[in-house]
C-alpha cells in the first residue's frame, strides 16, 4: 500500500517531503504503532541513527520485558550470549 500526501498538505505543513515523513514515522513510533526497527527501516536509516533521532527529540524507547526476553533469545541463538 502506498500513501499519497497531496502537495497542498506538504506545503501547509511547512516541511519538506522528507521532514514530513520523519514526523509521521516519529508519531507512529511514539504511539507504539511501529517498532524501533520498523521506524528506522521506513526512514531508510540504521537503528542506531534512529535512536539518536528520538534521543534528540526526547522520545523514550519503548522496551518491555517481553522484548528483552526476545533479544536474549536472539543473542543466545547467534552465540553472542
Report the pLDDT value the prediction gives residue 70, as an integer from 0 to 100. 81
Closest of 24, 29, 32 to residue 5, by C-alpha? 24
Q: Centre a 10 Å sphere on the Cβ of residue 34 and count the other Cβ atoms it contains.
A: 17
Q: Give me 69's grid cell.
A: 526476553
Q: Is the pTM of this model over 0.85?
A: no
pLDDT at 27: 96
d(CA 47, CA 34): 13
- Interatomic CA distance for residues 55 and 25, integer angstroms: 15
Q: What percent of the chain has pLDDT over 90?
A: 57
Average pLDDT, the chain: 90
22-48 pLDDT, tens digit per residue, is 999 999 999 989 988 899 999 999 989
CA 61 to chain CA mean position, Å: 10
* Per-residue pLDDT, 71: 81
Amino acid at each position: 500500500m502506498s500513501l499519497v500526501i497531496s502537495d497542498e498538505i506538504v506545503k501547509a505543513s511547512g516541511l519538506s517531503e522528507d521532514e514530513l515523513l520523519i514526523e509521521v514515522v516519529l508519531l507512529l513510533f511514539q504511539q507504539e504503532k511501529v517498532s524501533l526497527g520498523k521506524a528506522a527501516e521506513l526512514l531508510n536509516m540504521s537503528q542506531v541513527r534512529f535512536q539518536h533521532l528520538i534521543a534528540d527529540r526526547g522520545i523514550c524507547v519503548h522496551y518491555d520485558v517481553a522484548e528483552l526476553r526476545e533479544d536474549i533469545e536472539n543473542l543466545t541463538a547467534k552465540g553472542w550470549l
